[in-house]
Amino acid sequence: MEWTDIRVTVPRRWADTAEAIATGISGGGIYIEDYADLEQQVMAIAHVDLIEPELLARDRDKVIVHMYLSPDENPAQVLQLLHDRLAAAGADYTLDTAGVEQEDWENGWKAFYHAMTIGNRLAVVPSWETMDTDRAVLRLDPGMAFGTGTHETTSLCLEALDQLVQGGERVLDIGTGSGILAIAALKLGAGTAEGVDIDPMCVRTAGENAALNGVQDKFTVLVGGLSDKASGKYDIICANIVANAILSLAPAIPGLLAPGGHFMASGVIDTRKDEVAAGLAAAGLRVYEVREKNGWECFLCTLPEA
């Protein structure tokens, strides 16, 4: 079965951003080609210092993010979405594609992906496993857009939702992708959730995930931009995207946030922490907590007290 290998090549400084964006829209698998510390990795894994000259000659200053699409996915759509999000992030990048005979990704992932607990109340469990737990169970298979919960930006948001959702909230998930954050909020007790994304494919993916978790009647996916889709007031607004997009949408958030509500912004690398914090404050939001995990930042905000 031939899959499509989309390759995103970026300078090293953009590697984390490219990985986050590709992971956020992937329907298959992600592979990172990075030769910066080749010698150290080979020694640590294979305990040898003899390396093929071809590998030693690879560019150490660039990183290639491989994104694999199944035969039923449209590469043109995904390429356009990648282009839009990389450009919005201000990244320096090139895109190219190739066909590849791909082994069964689902079975391949099973060896590495298992049930995990997040926070005090949530568990993420793949469909082929069972877990005896009193926690709220979020069922997602690997390969979905931020679908495993293992990426730092996603786990930061899930941990925040675990604390913020008390029951009955109206939730908005901006750049919803697979719908993982909105679905997690519903599983934790939120009343309703809406997901907004510019990618039409998220309707199918998020809908399938909502049905898998039995919350399809409470979750609505809106395809388009924030300005023309979101309306009313929300108790919790999530945006797990990139720094430039967060800065762009921040001015609209105060008008959508209910009194006492919370806005969480993640997908921000630590080098842009101060810039994003200043942008959120300039938009009229009060940043009351910043959480960090392995170089990624998650901002928790609310409206200033009157």
Per-residue pLDDT of 15-24, as tens digits, reads 888 888 887 7
> How far apart are the C-alpha atoms of 64 and 294, rounded to whole Å?
20
Distance of CA 260 to the CA centre of its chain: 26
**Do the Cβ atoms of 157 and 264 come closer than 8 Å?**
yes
Q: Supply the mean pLDDT for the chain.
A: 81
The C-alpha atoms of residue 75 and residue 30 are separated, in whole angstroms, by 15
Residue 103: pLDDT over 80? no
When pLDDT is cut at 50, 70 and 90, the band that residue 111 belongs to is low
Kindly indicate the confidence band of residue 39, based on its pLDDT and cuts at 50, 70 and 90: very low
Strand partners, 234: 257
More confident residue, 80 or 172: 172
Strand partners, 64: 9, 33
pLDDT at 49 (0 to 100):
44
Return phi, psi of residue 279, to 5°: -65, -40
**Res 50: pLDDT:** 41
Mean pLDDT of 53-78: 74
Region of 46 please: left (phi>0), alpha (psi -120 to 50) or beta: alpha
CATH of domain 2-102: 3.30.70.120
Torsion over CA: 123, 129, 133, 134 (sign): positive
Mean pLDDT, residues 120-128: 85
Residue 45: its pLDDT value, please? 39
Lowest mean pLDDT among 85-94, 113-122, 247-256: 113-122
For the chain, the straight-line distance linking the first and the last C-alpha, in angstroms and rounded, comes to 60
Task: Look at residues 220, 277, 215 and name the one whose alpha carbon lies nearest to residue 246.
Answer: 277
Residue with structure tokens 């409206």?
A: 303
In the chain, domain spans? 2-102, 151-302
CATH homologous superfamily for the domain 151-302: Vaccinia Virus protein VP39 (3.40.50.150)
Give the pLDDT band of residue 143 (cuts 50, 70, 90). very low
Looking at residue 209, its amino acid is N
Give pTM, 2 decimals: 0.68
pLDDT at 139: 86
Name the token pair of 6: 């989309």
